[in-house]
């Protein structure tokens, strides 16, 4: 046992939670969630992350770190026409599909056969609108946003993991200094549990639920498996998908985002800085879980604080938090043979088009696959 185990676990939890909290609030607000429903969703995802990490890391003696789907939150935030009920329906579908993937091997194989550039282009199209909203916010409130962008660029030189957390803390303090903060509650709000009855609307299931499942698998679970393998661990893939899928289904009615294997924050707990002995790094898992239990207790207060911030600050922090993911998505589109269908996927997704009530992420995926098929049609002989 070393202090570095506790430090790595706490840092990973704070970076994962603080770096994406504004994005979670923004996504929930886009679906019309009330403050109580947003608080309930944050409580649900914190408890899901704590439970899944504790169960998997202790059971398999591996540093298996879980999180929630950050790209999925961006997808929800960029969707139109959602209500809390239809969002819960889409979350349930994504959780069930992850469970099915854990038990039906052909489905898992089919998902892995989805060309990486196409999946990455769909993700990039979703993230693009969120990232560009940073500069829209800068145009609306330059005095607030431009210094935070500069701070982000400097902070990234110090810590790529903690830069967004630094911007969030500085942005909250700066908003108070500028007098941009809405009135806060007289007392600290307590965690709330609000059960939202699911509404299974076809457009939301196809336009949000299916893309949510795909981006969670392609941009969270598959990279998460890779992080473990790079550190010479063999992840129990079926068990991880089953546990996170089950947790997603259980917590979806609370408004909680889909649970999945962590990728970026997991690397904090899987390397030699956590412990020089690879067989002891799993001990970070229980401390990570404990950190999320403590964050669950204080989550309602954090949600109330973020909700009182100006919309431009929330958009800035959420967009900056996704720049790294956008860079990775663009990098995964580099295959020259698949570049054309990938660009088609990107442009359709980023357009925000809605057809038959179904959002652009689904149609971007369809357009990319059709373009890929057209590319493989043999030209007639001369």
> In this structure, is residue 381 part of a structural domain?
no
- Stretch 281-298: mean pLDDT: 90
Structure tokens at 50: 């704590």
pLDDT for the residue 260: 92
> In this structure, is residue 354 part of a structural domain?
yes
Q: Which residue has the higher pLDDT, 151 or 180?
A: 151
Q: Which residue has the higher pLDDT, 282 or 369?
A: 282
370: confidence class by pLDDT, cuts 50, 70, 90: confident
Q: How far is CA 339 from the centre of its chain?
A: 25
> In this structure, is residue 73 part of a structural domain?
yes
Residue 334 has pLDDT above 50, yes or no: yes
In tens, the pLDDT along 119-146 reads: 778 778 877 877 888 888 888 888 888 9
382: confidence class by pLDDT, cuts 50, 70, 90: very low
Tell if the pTM clears 0.85, that is, is over it: no
Alpha-carbon span 260 to 205, nearest angstrom: 19
pLDDT for the residue 380: 54
> In this structure, is residue 114 part of a structural domain?
yes
> In this structure, is residue 184 part of a structural domain?
yes
In tens, the pLDDT along 186-240 reads: 666 777 889 999 999 988 898 889 889 988 887 788 778 877 887 788 888 889 9
Q: Which residue has the higher pLDDT, 115 or 54?
A: 54
> In this structure, is residue 382 part of a structural domain?
no
- Stretch 34-43: mean pLDDT: 89
> In this structure, is residue 380 part of a structural domain?
no
Helical packing angle, 237-251 and 222-230, nearest 10°: 140
What is the number of other CB atoms lying within 10 angstroms of the CB of residue 187?
A: 7
- Stretch 271-293: mean pLDDT: 88
How many domains is the chain partitioned into structurally? 1
For tokens 């020259």, the residue is 336
**Structural domain containing residue 343:** 3-375
Q: Which of 147-151, 165-169, 226-230, 309-313 reaches the highest mean pLDDT? A: 147-151
In tens, the pLDDT along 73-102 reads: 888 887 878 899 999 999 999 999 999 998
Between the two ends of the chain, the Cα-to-Cα distance in Å is: 72
Alpha-carbon span 361 to 207, nearest angstrom: 7
């Amino acid at each position: 046992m070393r202090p570095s185990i506790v430090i790595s676990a706490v840092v990973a939890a704070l970076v994962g939670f603080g770096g994406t909290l504004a994005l979670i609030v923004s996504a929930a607000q886009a679906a019309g969630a009330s403050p109580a429903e947003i608080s309930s969703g944050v409580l649900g995802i914190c408890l899901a992350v704590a439970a899944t990490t504790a169960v998997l890391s202790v059971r398999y003696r591996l540093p298996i770190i879980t999180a929630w789907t950050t790209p999925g939150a961006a997808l929800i935030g960029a969707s139109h026409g959602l209500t809390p009920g239809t969002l819960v329906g889409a979350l349930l579908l994504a959780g069930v599909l992850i469970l099915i993937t854990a038990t039906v091997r052909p489905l898992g194989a089919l998902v892995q056969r989805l060309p990486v550039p196409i999946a990455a282009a769909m993700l990039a199209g979703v993230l693009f609108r969120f990232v560009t909203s940073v500069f829209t916010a800068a145009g609306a409130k330059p005095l607030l946003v431009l210094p935070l962008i500069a701070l982000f660029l400097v902070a990234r030189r110090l810590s790529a993991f903690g830069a967004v957390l630094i911007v969030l803390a500085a942005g909250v303090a700066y908003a108070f200094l500028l007098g941009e903060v809405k009135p806060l509650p007289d007392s600290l709000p307590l965690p709330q549990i609000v059960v939202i009855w699911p509404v299974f609307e076809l457009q939301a299931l196809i336009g949000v639920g299916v893309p949510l499942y795909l981006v969670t698998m392609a941009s969270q679970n598959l990279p998460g498996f890779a992080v473990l393998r790079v550190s010479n661990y063999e992840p129990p893939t079926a068990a991880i998908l089953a546990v996170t899928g089950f947790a997603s289904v259980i917590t979806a009615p609370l408004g909680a985002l889909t649970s999945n294997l962590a990728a970026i924050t997991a690397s904090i707990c899987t390397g030699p800085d956590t412990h020089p002995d690879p067989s002891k790094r799993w001990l970070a898992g229980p401390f990570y879980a404990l950190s999320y239990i403590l964050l669950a207790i204080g989550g309602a207060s954090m949600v109330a604080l973020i909700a009182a911030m100006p919309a431009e600050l929330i958009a800035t922090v959420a967009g900056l938090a996704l720049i790294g993911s956008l860079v990775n998505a663009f990098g995964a589109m580099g295959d020259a043979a698949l570049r054309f269908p990938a660009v088609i996927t990107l442009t359709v997704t980023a357009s925000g088009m809605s057809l038959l009530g179904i959002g652009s992420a689904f149609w971007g995926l369809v357009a990319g696959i059709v373009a890929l098929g057209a590319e493989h049609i043999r030209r007639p002989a001369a």
